[in-house]
């Protein structure tokens, strides 16, 4: 069985898209290859890594990457995790079977201490709804 390729996108690739990559690897690594990138990559945020570890998700190998690293690659799914106001990360120009937009607020811009954990839980919830639809094809 060939694994389906999924790319998670957000602006900095320091929180939401890294969370998506780590979650999909954890939830369905046997069926999907997960990647992440950002339109303006930064370093993984410490609170992102903390939230992932708190929920038992491995963080080894997670790093922020630019969209440019993936411009010549093809993905079955591209999942954009920016909210509607952040157009830059929504401008995927590469090859994808399907592009999905999940409006997840950037936890870096929310002034609450649990913003990163809430973003992680929201992405997990959406993946748990999405995965059953794409694992029996």
pLDDT of the residue at 116:
97
- Does the structure show a pLDDT above 90 at 34? yes
Instruction: Give CA–CA dist 137/134, Å, rounded.
Output: 6
SS3 category, 9: strand
Q: What is the chain's length?
A: 137
> Using one digit for the tens of pLDDT, what is the confidence trace for 61-90?
999 999 889 989 999 999 999 876 556 665
pLDDT of the residue at 89:
61
- Does the structure show a pLDDT above 60 at 137? no
Instruction: Give CA–CA dist 10/89, Å, rounded.
Output: 5
SS3 category, 16: helix
Domains of the chain with CATH codes: 4-133 (3.40.50.2300)
- Does the structure show a pLDDT above 90 at 95? no
- What value does the mean pLDDT of the chain take? 90
Residue 77: φ, ψ to 5°: -140, 140
pLDDT of the residue at 136:
61
Angle at 88 between CA 6 and CA 58, to 5 degrees: 40
Residue 93 CB-density burial (10 A; 0-12 exposed, 13-18 middle, 19+ buried)? exposed
Instruction: Give CA–CA dist 20/15, Å, rounded.
Output: 9
């Amino acid at each position: 069985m060939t694994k389906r390729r999924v790319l998670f996108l957000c602006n900095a690739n320091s929180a939401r898209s890294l969370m998506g990559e780590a979650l999909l690897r954890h939830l369905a690594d046997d069926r999907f290859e997960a990647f992440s990138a950002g339109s303006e990559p930064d370093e993984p945020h410490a609170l992102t890594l903390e939230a992932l570890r708190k929920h038992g998700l491995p963080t080894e190998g997670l790093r922020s990457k630019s969209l440019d690293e993936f411009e010549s690659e093809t993905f079955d799914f591209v999942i954009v995790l920016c909210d509607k106001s952040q157009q830059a990360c929504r401008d995927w120009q590469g090859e994808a079977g399907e592009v999905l937009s999940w409006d997840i607020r950037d936890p870096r811009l929310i002034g609450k201490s649990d913003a990163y954990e809430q973003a992680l839980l929201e992405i997990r919830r959406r993946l748990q709804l999405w995965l059953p639809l794409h694992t029996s094809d």
